[in-house]
Amino acid sequence: MRIVHQFTTSVATRFKHSSTSSTPTSSPRSPASTEEGAAFTVPTVRGECLLKYQLRPRREWQRDALITCNPDEFIAEALEIPNFQESVQECRKTAQDGPAPAEKNSQYPEIIFLGTGSAIPMKIRNVSSTLINISSDKSLLLDCGEGTFGQLCRHYGEDVDRVLSTLAAVFVSHLHADHHTGLLNILLQRERALASLGRPCHPLLVVAPTQLRPWLQQYHNQCQRVLHHVCMIPAKCLQKGTEVSNPEVERLISLLLGTCDLDEFQTCLVRHCKHAFGCALVHTSGWKLVYSGDTMPCEALVQMGKDATLLIHEATLEDGLEEEAVEKTHSTTSQAIGVGMRMNADFIMLNHFSQRYAKIPLFSPDFNDKVGIAFDHMKVCFGDFPTVPKLTAPLKALFACDIEEMEERREKRALRLVRAALLSGEREGGPEDSESPQKRARAEQPQSPHSKKVRAQ
């Protein structure tokens, strides 16, 4: 259960340990003080959430409201949940009875999910970003949503500069903001990291729709210079059968393959917005990783990803919301699993969950021993595939109350659908009859302002 517990506690624990010190620093000098050689030292306090400073009646820092993180408390609380300990023990037993753990030389590739939610960042799931550590000194990002750099800091702590220095490429699947607005900060922080390590700053390879270029150009013109940090490879140029006539693009594609030790980096158009792509990476050692981006079930993705070692596929909505999934051009859980099965993928990791499933998505009957659920800060290697599905039972026990609440909502939605169908059957012909029962039921559902905000995905 280390993976499950780590995702809930590692962020806050790391933040606590990095924010308890107070160090002196020198303040900027005025020209006069510089000539005199004077330096003024002032106390510096690291900011923390809910830290307060009182001016009256006595000047002092107030730390009584600070958020503290004690991992032992999380463990004790979890152990009190009915059936959780039994599920963990059973998980450990089945893991011990299973295949031997992967050898150390199978550590790479290492997949780290930095953002597994959709639409907007939330406290449990950030928006889309997945780090692929190809080796100890080479990595790439699959999408780069808002807050990606912050997630890297939370995951790696003081080692974040080293990780940024290994970043060779970024794949941007499409131009929705939850998939690319973190790119600018990654470019700037990568430059800073390389400078701090005394290394030259070479441009970052960015595989993306060509429509990303005007956005970068506008930021470059209006805010600060960033274009010298980027070498763009149009995603359409990596589609199967595409002839590349631009020598510079050909050079960049060769550089991408050589830098990342890849035999192939292929893209295909997927069924989402205009200019939305999925990708497949084939490593020189033989493994194949496929990333769907945002999409409805897509036959082009199935064909591109045949016999993949790992498929990372979006599962924005639960089963039963197929019509809503079509409206928003996303996939349900069973649809995502079905794509992986048709692809003959060795393993399927589901991500990009609607924020209505922030803690855990509803489990589909199609879940099997080739399917896992991604959480923010979850780290998976190929050798972990046999273990990940065994976490399903402990997860169901750990989040039993949340699952029960979601199932109650699903039952109420089903009742509304029945009611809407009965009402439509009673009415005579008219324009309203063309409206589906699902749409009518959703229109009748009372919503809070917050639910309206997050329902966009």
pLDDT per position in the chain (457 positions), as tens? 444 444 444 434 443 444 444 443 344 444 444 445 556 678 888 888 899 999 999 999 999 988 888 889 888 999 999 999 999 999 998 888 776 655 544 789 999 999 999 999 998 999 999 999 999 999 999 999 999 999 999 999 999 999 999 999 999 999 999 999 999 999 999 999 999 999 999 999 999 999 999 999 999 999 999 999 999 999 999 999 999 999 999 999 999 999 999 999 999 999 999 999 999 999 999 999 999 999 999 999 999 999 999 999 999 999 999 999 999 999 999 999 999 999 999 999 999 999 999 899 999 999 999 999 999 999 999 999 999 999 999 999 999 999 999 999 999 988 998 888 888 887 755 555 555 656 655 555 555 444 444 444 5
Alpha-carbon gap, residue 325 to 438, rounded angstroms: 12
pLDDT at residue 118, as a whole number:
95
Distance of CA 300 to the CA centre of its chain: 23
List own/partner pairs for 276-284 with CB under 8 A and 24 or more apart: 276/173, 276/174, 276/209, 277/173, 277/174, 277/209, 277/235, 277/236, 278/173, 278/304, 278/305, 279/142, 279/171, 279/173, 279/207, 279/235, 279/238, 280/304, 280/305, 280/308, 281/132, 283/109, 283/134
Cβ-Cβ contacts under 8 Å for 42 (sequence gap 6 or more)? 24, 25, 27
Residue 199: which of 224, 231, 167 has the closest Cα? Answer: 167
pTM over 0.85: no
pLDDT at residue 440, as a whole number:
57
Alpha-carbon gap, residue 307 to 321, rounded angstroms: 29
Neighbours of 371 (CB within 10 A): 25
Cβ-Cβ contacts under 8 Å for 196 (sequence gap 6 or more)? 161
pLDDT at residue 85, as a whole number:
92
Please give the helix or strand (H or E) that residue 252 lies within, else none: helix 247-259
Beta pairing, strands 310-314 & 204-208: unpaired
pLDDT at residue 14, as a whole number:
40
- Supply 76's token pair: 């004790």
